[in-house]
Structure 1
Amino acid sequence: MTAQPSSLLASIQLESFEFTLKDIHSIDLEQLHSLSVSVGWPHRLDDLRFLLAHGSGFAAVDSIGRVLGSAMSFPMGGDFSTIGMVITSPRLQTQGTGRWLMDHVLENVKGRRLGLNSTRAAKRLYSTMGFTAEATVFQCQGQATLPAAQKGQPEALPPSTQLRAITPDDLEEIIALDHLAYRAPRAVLLSQLLPLSKGGALIRDNKIIAFSLIRPFGRGYVIGPIVASSDEEAIAVTRPHIASHEGRFLRIDTREKSVPFAEFIRQSGLELFDTVTTMSMYGRLLNPDQENGKDVKIFGLVSQTLG
């Protein structure tokens, strides 16, 4: 984002409210946290710090300094960015604040392909701005427990594969496999995510063919990204995280439904909590070959904000 001489960038009058637009990096972290809590989002302060370190955006601030809205963009390499942290205070959600913030964010990402995961409340807004719905994301969460039939049993791995822990030396190979699945390079994001995470890699012929990461997030831990070419591979790299976190709160955001991977998640205590909609503008995000099980894909998102 172009440097500004002041954190004050614009202003708008919405009925009885007057807002100023500020660079989101000038806003106190506790105020952003309070805003996210007001709409029921589970972000910890550390989760917000991570997002601020990887994106740019704006906040709507009223005349007495309260932060009542936010919106951000996150560059992913190449010509692609995600949009996220689009929040408006509940009492202002029909006042046009979200549209005003989004207009400023979109001005900053001109010429880039865009993706986001929309709540039900925001879907109509994004549709009117030109975003197209592609798929449903299922937010699955709960107290983790291995399916009863798998307890005490050896891990069932795909033929000719081994499972091992991810190390820092795996970063380049992980970045390359994630690029194939995500369809945009995320080298910077993954290089910052890896030190915060523990992960497992599925190996065949000395190459990583699937992997997953788990890290602290929200109420407990989130497993993601999960990158694999099949349900069998995705389960193989996810199962160890379930086993090592039994009794703890886990979350997986996935687009998989009514397939072995989705059923494994449900049997592991991670029930459907909510859904959001993956939407795109200036180019489709999801490859039909991936949706038809013919290519490596994202079985679990890093987060709804980062995809």
Structure 2
Amino acid sequence: MQTESIVLAPFEAHHVRGALALSRAAGWAHRREDWEMIRSLSEGRVALTGDRVVGTALMTPFGDTCSAINMIIVDESQRGRGLGRKLTTAVLGLAGERECRLTATNDGLPLYEKLGFVATHQIFRHQGIAGKAGAPENVEWIGPDALPAVKALDRTAFGADRDALYNALAKEGSFAAIRKGDHIVAFAATRLFGKGQVVGPVVAENSEQARDLLAFILSSKEGRIVRVDIPEQTGLSSPLEDWGLRREGTVIAMVRGAAGQSETPAVQTFCLASQAIG
């Protein structure tokens, strides 16, 4: 019996249905809407056998300096044949000279190390039914007019231009913020994701502000499924567990071609938009 050949092709809108089937088979939480949002921000490649999608990979550019390599999935029937490496190599080519960031499972770690990625830290996934959290008085909901300030804070924390991502987040969800005088100094975003909702990004000057932002948003989501992804160094696991969001998994943040920062930024990212895009 002849094995059907596999070809790589640009990831286009009509491939989302096949990509969604792959992610569901892999146990991922993504809805069609989640795929469509990230695809709209990205370039990518699909692996096809005939018209069937058997692999995916995306490169999400953040300006000309940085990118996220994400949504790398290979159909179970095609694993062990080097397809994951081919897809990843293809989207690394799309990234050009940009710094590349991704998150890896322990199984994927050896491949990404061979492709030049270096592990930097762990990311913890917290998820569960949100319990009771008090709403701090120093946090407020903000509207679209505050988006330029939010983008500027994220640019400082993340180290790259993610304006397109924030335009998408503004359409999909809501933002809360902490002000000092007339200036926004910390913010959090929330939107629908998977079977529930996600909180992130959270960008703040310190962990106290980050906790206040989380408490404020979770106070409006009591009884709902909520997910939060945090870098290990933020120290937010304990309060998240107190609010009913158990730590359910860990992935490894990796980087390739890191430019580095000359000094510590005034704000940092305490919760991610998602594991895929940081």
TM-score (norm 2): 0.94
Selected match of 1:131 from 99, 117, 120 = 117
Deviation readout 1:180-216 (Å, 9 max, x if unpaired): 1111111111122112111210001211111001000
Aligned-partner residue type, residue 243 of structure 2: S
Selected match of 1:195 from 143, 168, 171 = 171
1:140 aligns with 2:126: yes
Aligned-partner residue type, residue 277 of structure 2: L
Conservation of the 8 A alpha-carbon contact between 1:146 and 1:267: no
Selected match of 1:95 from 37, 60, 81 = 81
| Secondary structure, aligned partner of 2:37 | helix
The aligned residue for residue 270 of structure 2 is 299
Q: Which runs of 5+ in 1 are unaligned?
A: 1-14
| Secondary structure, aligned partner of 1:139 | strand
Deviates more, 1:174-183 or 1:277-286: 277-286
Which runs of at least 4 in structure 1 moved beyond 3 Å after TM superposition? Answer: 284-290
Q: Which has the larger radius of gyration?
A: 1
Selected match of 1:42 from 12, 17, 29 = 29
Conservation of the 8 A alpha-carbon contact between 2:15 and 2:53: no
Deviation readout 1:80-130 (Å, 9 max, x if unpaired): 111001111123232100001112111222211111111222111100100
In 2, Cα distance between equivalents of 1:143 and 1:287? 40
The aligned residue for residue 17 of structure 2 is 30
The aligned residue for residue 108 of structure 2 is 122
The aligned residue for residue 226 of structure 2 is 250
In 1, Cα distance between equivalents of 2:44 and 2:234? 37
Conservation of the 8 A alpha-carbon contact between 2:59 and 2:67: yes
1:210 aligns with 2:186: yes
In 2, Cα distance between equivalents of 1:92 and 1:257? 36
Aligned-partner residue type, residue 44 of structure 1: R
Deviation readout 1:150-201 (Å, 9 max, x if unpaired): 5xxx62x6xxxx3211110101100111111111111111122112111210
* Sequence identity percentage: 30
| Secondary structure, aligned partner of 1:189 | helix
Structure-to-structure mapping, 1:1-307, within 5 angstroms: 16=3, 18-25=5-12, 27-63=14-50, 65-146=51-132, 155=136, 162-256=138-232, 259=235, 261-283=236-258, 289=264, 295-307=266-278
In 2, Cα distance between equivalents of 1:192 and 1:67? 26
In 2, Cα distance between equivalents of 1:258 and 1:25? 37
Aligned-partner residue type, residue 81 of structure 2: Q
In 1, Cα distance between equivalents of 2:262 and 2:25? 36
Distance 1:199 1:258, change over 3 A: closer
What is the root-mean-square deviation of aligned Cα atoms in Å? 1.9
Deviation readout 1:39-82 (Å, 9 max, x if unpaired): 1111000001101110011111114x221101110011131111
Conservation of the 8 A alpha-carbon contact between 1:81 and 1:115: yes
Aligned-partner residue type, residue 302 of structure 1: A
Q: Which runs of 5+ in 2 are unaligned?
A: none
- Alpha-carbon offset, residue 257 of structure 1: 5.0
Distance 1:275 1:17, change over 3 A: farther
Aligned-partner residue type, residue 296 of structure 1: V
Distance 1:287 1:116, change over 3 A: farther
Deviation readout 1:233-287 (Å, 9 max, x if unpaired): 001111121111111100000013583x321111111111111111001115688
In 1, Cα distance between equivalents of 2:234 and 2:158? 22
| Secondary structure, aligned partner of 1:59 | strand
Conservation of the 8 A alpha-carbon contact between 2:121 and 2:232: no
TM-score (norm 1): 0.85
Aligned-partner residue type, residue 157 of structure 2: A
The aligned residue for residue 5 of structure 1 is none
In 2, Cα distance between equivalents of 1:183 and 1:166? 23
Conservation of the 8 A alpha-carbon contact between 1:226 and 1:299: yes
Deviates more, 1:27-36 or 1:51-60: 27-36
